[in-house]
Structure 1
Amino acid sequence: MPTLSVTIEYERGTVVVHPHGEVDYDSAPVLIGAVEEVEGEWYGMVVDLSRVPFMDSAGLHALIALERRCRERGSRLTVTGIQEQPARLLDLVSLGGFFATTA
């Protein structure tokens, strides 16, 4: 059973996604599904990982899928609040520079 919850806010044309919990094989579809339900006009997306202590390869796949969706809309995904384990994973697979990141 996925233990991930996702809230979404809209701030000045930007979709801000707040996952809370681990993003793994079981829960990554919850993250992708929440974003797929976003409607209306938006010009950028921020995924705040400050409440994600753990992410596996399925979580990476989810971030790549979200980045692809942004690219299709002519925008870019920004990932913020990256905790230690997800940051190590991004660096390990050389995706640390793939996403725009902020502290």
Structure 2
Amino acid sequence: MNLTCRHLPGATLIAVAGQVDTTTSAQLEEYIDQHRARLDEHLIIDMSELSFLDSSGLAVLLAAAMLARAHGVGVHVTGLQAMPARLLEITGAERAVTIYDHVEQAIAAVADLDLVNPSEPA
């Protein structure tokens, strides 16, 4: 698994490549926790290079979505390949996140959300 992070206005963008399973899901969770700039910023997760996601990785994604929702923001998932997309679909987890085809769409949507609902400074 390979992880990269980029901070954007109002959001943290994390790209996940490879596979997320029981051997790597804790690493993903720790990476998200360490690299999120603020809890009241949106989290964009680019999964365009993620070929496999198991239930432990799904649990990390759902925990991030619950935390984001508690702080008035969301988790935005982009570039889902067939297998991870199917897992989100059959588990109903797709309702906990917002899904976009491309990372640029998520970035634009977050920018629009921030214009409508600007967050208070921490």
Relative to the length of structure 2, the TM-score reads 0.75
Q: CA deviation at 1:12?
A: 1.3
Name whichever of 74-83 and 88-97 sits farther off.
88-97
Alignment match, 1:77: 75
In structure 1, the gaps of 5 or more residues are: none
- Asked if 1:37 corresponds to 2:34, the answer is yes
1:62 aligned partner: 60
Within the alignment, does 1:8 sit opposite 2:5 as a pair?
Answer: yes
Alignment length (residue pairs): 100
Please say which structure displays the higher CA radius of gyration.
2
Runs of 4+ in 1 over 4 A off after TM superposition: none
Q: Which one has a larger percent strand, Structure 1 or Structure 2?
A: 2
1:91 Cα deviation after fit: 1.1
1:35 maps to amino acid: I
Give the Cα separation in 2 of the matches to 1:11 and 1:19: 17
Residue range with higher mean Cα deviation, 8-17 or 90-99: 90-99
Letter of the structure 2 residue corresponding to residue 15 of structure 1: T
Answer whether contact 2:65 2:96 (CA < 8 A) is retained: no
1:28 aligns with 2:22: no
Question: Which of 44, 50, 64 is the equivalent residue of 1:52?
Answer: 50
Task: State whether structure 2 residue 97 is matched by structure 1 residue 99.
Answer: yes
* Greater share of residues in helix: 2
What is the TM-score when the length of structure 1 is the normalising length?
A: 0.88
Secondary structure at the residue paired with 1:26? coil
Q: Deviations over 1:53-82 (max 9, x none)?
A: 111101110101111221232211111110
Q: Which residue is 1:18 aligned to?
A: 15
The CA deviation at 1:85 is 0.3
Partner SS, residue 22 of structure 1: strand
Question: Which amino acid counterpart does residue 2 of structure 2 have in structure 1?
Answer: S
- What's the CA shift for 1:90? 1.0
